[in-house]
Amino acid sequence: MQHPLSLYNTLTRRKAPFEPLHAPFVGVYLCGPTVYSEAHVGNARGPVVFDVLTRYLRHLGYTVRYVRNITDVGHLEGDADEGEDKISKRARAQQLEPMQVAEQFANLYQAHMTALGCLPPDITPRASGHIIEQIEMVQQIIDNGFGYESNGSVYFDVPAYNAAGRNYGKLSNRVVEELLAGSRDNLAGQEEKRSPLDFALWKRADERHLMRWASPWSDGFPGWHLECSAMSRKYLGAEFDIHGGGLDLMFPHHECEIAQSQACNHPTNEAQVWMHNNMITVNGAKMSKAVGNFITMSQLFEGTNATLAQAYSPMTVRFFLLQAHYRSTVDITDEGLQAARKGYRKLMNGLRLLDKLREASLSSDVIKARTVAPVAEGKVPDTTTADAELRKLVQDCFVGLNDDLNTARAIASLFNLLRKLNGFHANPATLATVSAAALQEATDAYQTLVADVLGLVDEPRASAEDLLSLTLEFYQEAKATKAYDKVDQIRAALKTQGIVVKDTKAGIDWAYSEE
Binding residues: 31, 228, 253, 257, 289
Beta strands in 23-144 (DSSP E): 25-30, 63-68
Across-strand partners of 22? 25
> Phi and psi at residue 410, in whole multiples of 5°?
-60, -40
Residues whose CB is less than 8 angstroms from the CB of residue 68 and which lie 6 or more positions away in sequence, other chains included: 29, 30, 31, 32, 47, 50, 121, 123, 124
Rounded Cα distance between 162 and 177, Å, is 11
From the list 301, 93, 108, 131, the residue with the least C-alpha distance to 221 is 131
Rounded Cα distance between 428 and 366, Å, is 8
User: On the CB side of 85, how many CA atoms lie within 13 Å of its CA?
Assistant: 32
Residues whose CB is less than 8 angstroms from the CB of residue 147 and which lie 6 or more positions away in sequence, other chains included: 138, 141, 154, 155, 156, 157, 201, 263
Cα torsion angle, 381, 385, 389, 390, sign: positive
Binding site, annotated residues for Zn(2+) = 31, 228, 253, 257
Rounded Cα distance between 250 and 39, Å, is 19
Rounded Cα distance between 265 and 291, Å, is 46
Binding site, annotated residues for ATP = 289
278: burial class by Cβ within 10 Å (0-12, 13-18, 19+)? middle
> Phi and psi at residue 137, in whole multiples of 5°?
-70, -40
Q: How many residues does the chain have?
A: 515
Task: Report the largest interatomic distance among the alpha carbons of the chain, rounded to a whole angstrom.
Answer: 96
